[in-house]
Amino acid sequence: LALSPPPLSLEACEEATKLLNFHKKLEQQRVTAPAFRLRERAAAATIVSLGPHTILPDPALVAASPLSQHWQGDSTNLTYVRLIVGRQERLADQMRREFRIPEKRIAYLRLIGLALTKDGWPEIEKMSLAKKPPVPLETIVEVYIQAGRGQESMSLIARLPIESRVRYLTLLGNTNEAISLARQDRSGGLLYMIQRLLPKTDRAAHEELAALRARLGRAGTSSSEHSRITSPTM
């Protein structure tokens, strides 16, 4: 026998009712916004530094989406993002207050919404330049890349830890710069990461990276041997 899902808590029922009523008001006021769905990771309530995961819905599909007055059935996160994309700032702020959405989550959802609009990028740039960005810098870089604006994120990439810098430089096709950073760091691990990120069809790059890793390995072995031989015995 199939098990029935556990009953919703009283708090969850109240939240669902509140959201339904909010949606009904939007529909009564004929508020419109593009209709789309969030990626599963982007829809999560817990916001973390995402690394190389898909965050944005396809911006081209969102841009081509017809305006819709239908809201019922959307999650809290999706409702907020749609309001941002539809430039319904007053209603988005009202929702933030009424549903007490945490600030970190709001910043993340706002980032998604702004990235799906043509005129949202100045605010994203301002967000990235903050002393303490409201969203992890790596997540902002991911959004730039997934929106097809990777080259515009180079100044942000330069502020990331070396592993992230090497990864994003490789993903953006700046392989030589990524290799140079890995060599300066004398890191076989970073060279291996570049090798994994490159297409297997790029045989020349794979061979170069394998040779560099082997050279680093030999240098490390020689250094260890020298240290063992020259260290004083007890």
Give the pLDDT score at 225.
45
Query: For residue 57, what are its two tokens?
Result: 């819905």
Strand partners, 33: 68
How confident is the model over 12-32, as a mean pLDDT? Answer: 95
pTM above 0.75, yes or no: yes
Spatial CA neighbour of 83 closest among 93, 73, 57: 93
Of 50-54, 91-95, 148-152, 186-190, minimum mean pLDDT range: 50-54
Residue 41's pLDDT band, with cuts at 50, 70 and 90, is low
Q: What is the CA radius of gyration of the chain?
A: 24
Residue 57's pLDDT band, with cuts at 50, 70 and 90, is confident
Of 6-15, 75-84, 107-116, 194-203, minimum mean pLDDT range: 6-15
Give the pLDDT score at 138.
93
Residue 3's pLDDT band, with cuts at 50, 70 and 90, is low
CA-to-CA dists, residue 216 to 45, 153, 192, angstroms: 43, 31, 12
Give the integer Cα–Cα distance in Å for 72 and 45.
Answer: 19
Residue-wise pLDDT for 85-99, tens only, equals 999 999 999 999 999
Residue-wise pLDDT for 188-228, tens only, equals 999 999 999 998 888 888 999 999 999 888 765 544 444 44
Q: Which residue has the higher pLDDT, 186 or 40?
A: 186
Residue 2's pLDDT band, with cuts at 50, 70 and 90, is low
Give the pLDDT score at 49.
37
The mean of the pLDDT values for the chain is 86
